[in-house]
Amino acid sequence: MPVTVYLDHAATTPMLPGAVRALTDEMTRTGNPSSLHGSGRAARRVVEESRESLAAALGARPSDVLWTSGGTEADNLAVKGLFWARRREDPTRRRILVSAVEHHAVLDPAFWMAEHTGAELVLLPVDSDGVLDVDALRDELDRHGEQAALLSVMWANNEVGALQPLDEVVSLARRYGVPVHADAVQAVGQVPVDFAASGLDAMTVSGHKVGGPGGTGALLARRGLDLMPVQHGGGQERGVRSGTLDAALLVSFAAAVDEAVAARPVVAPRIAALRDELVAGVLAAVPDAQLRGPVDTARRLPFNAHFTFPGCEGDSLLYLLDSAGIEASTGSACQAGVPRPSHVLLAMGVDEHDARGALRFSLGHTSSADDVAALVATLPAVVDRARAAGLAGVR
């Protein structure tokens, strides 16, 4: 097996050394942050300093931060907590507005709410680049804004990297008093993220996507935002999210976000240049490959490249690359292990057949020019072979 070339940083990225250090140092100490004694106080101090650090890195106030077990929990809390709180205040507000390209952590709770709690789900369309159709949102709000309970539009799409027009989204939603949540899991460390300046009411961040530990995340929820608790218990996190806090995980999470955000002005342009090399290299090596998401790199995540390869099955490409030591992703979730055409690509108008040949290459802080060169060198043979196999399946 050749040296592994890791091009799946959007799935998870290696932990930053500072985050590892913070984690292992803190793990040697004992103390429940809710305890009143000395050990508890020491742990609480670490938790609160982490809260202050995370808030500072993301343009939020410490009191905005609700620790969660990860991005998925924060998204669930936002969708369910906002909906229930809004409906309690005004029972006619039953519409949940989400973009059609949201991550499953937003889409699935929204579908679940529609199925089980009488919510009405509105999937907002996107253009062929995967960018929200603002006119459609305006139209929806003009007609049904008074019935909208919440609006959730991601900061940047995790598959095709499209940055979303959150400024316009926020200003439209404000007119109708609709709280706006954004899943910013992929954005932190790649583009400037300032919670206060964004005007968002709630925002999801995750630890392991930026070099922190798995099992960490946060919902930034503007103080005063009415949020119904989803997880009940000991009353931690303003009573909105109960559960014992883990000082070691949180200090490591905060350290990772701090480092990723601080390094972004240097790292992001370096990775963006590598990504541009990757895109150019792939298109030169496989001329009929199609870049998905915005071609204008200023409108997409700097670490993201996404292609469809005509006539290929994504899982064939994955297998062949994997056996050549190159790790990538189709970018979309499986259903029971069966690869399905991505809902993001389908929402962009890509037909089901083309959508099956999708592959996402996502770079990160450890990526190098060698990684890109290895991919570009390997890809033509892989695509040829996958194409032959794709035809073999058709009898």
Cβ-based nearer residue to other proteins, 176 or 319: 319
User: Which residues here bind other proteins, judged by CB under 8 A?
Assistant: 315-316, 318-320, 322-323, 334, 336-339, 385-386, 388-389, 391-393, 395
Dihedral sign from CA coordinates of 62, 65, 67, 70: negative
Q: Which is nearer to other proteins, 280 or 388 (CB)?
A: 388
Report, in Å, the least distance between residue 108 CB and other proteins.
14
CB of 1 to other proteins, least distance (A): 10
Considering beta carbons, is residue 62 or 339 the nearer one to other proteins? 339
Pairing status of strand 148-152 against strand 95-99: parallel
Q: Which is nearer to other proteins, 18 or 339 (CB)?
A: 339
SS3 content of the chain, % helix, strand, coil (to 5): 45, 15, 40
Judge whether 7 and 361 are in contact, CB under 8 Å: yes
Alpha helices in the chain (DSSP H): 17-27, 38-57, 71-76, 82-89, 104-116, 134-144, 166-175, 195-198, 247-285, 314-323, 343-347, 352-355, 369-392
> Which CB atom, from 205 or from 324, has the smaller least distance to other proteins?
324
CB contact set of 112 (below 8 Å; sequence gap of 6+): none
Closer CB to other proteins, 74 or 355, in the complex = 355
| Angle at 158 (CA atoms; ends 341, 12), nearest 5 degrees | 105
What is the Cα–Cα distance from 145 to 160, expressed in whole angstroms?
29
User: Is 334 tagged catalytic?
Assistant: yes
Phi-psi region of 68 (alpha: psi -120 to 50; beta: other; left: phi over 0): beta
Task: Tell me if 179 sits within 8 A of 152, measured CB to CB.
Answer: no
- Using alpha carbons, list the distances in angstroms from residue 386 to 12, 356, 357, 379, 389: 26, 12, 9, 10, 5
Q: Residues 273, 334, 388, 391: which is the catalytic one? A: 334
Separation between Cα atoms, residue 232 and residue 215, nearest integer Å: 19
d(CA 190, CA 268): 6
Residue 336: CB minimum distance to other proteins, A? 5
Q: How far is the CB of 249 from other proteins (least distance, A)?
A: 26
Q: How far is the CB of 388 from other proteins (least distance, A)?
A: 5
Rg (CA), the chain: 21
> CA 20 to CA 239: how far, in whole Å?
30
Which positions are annotated as active-site residues? 334
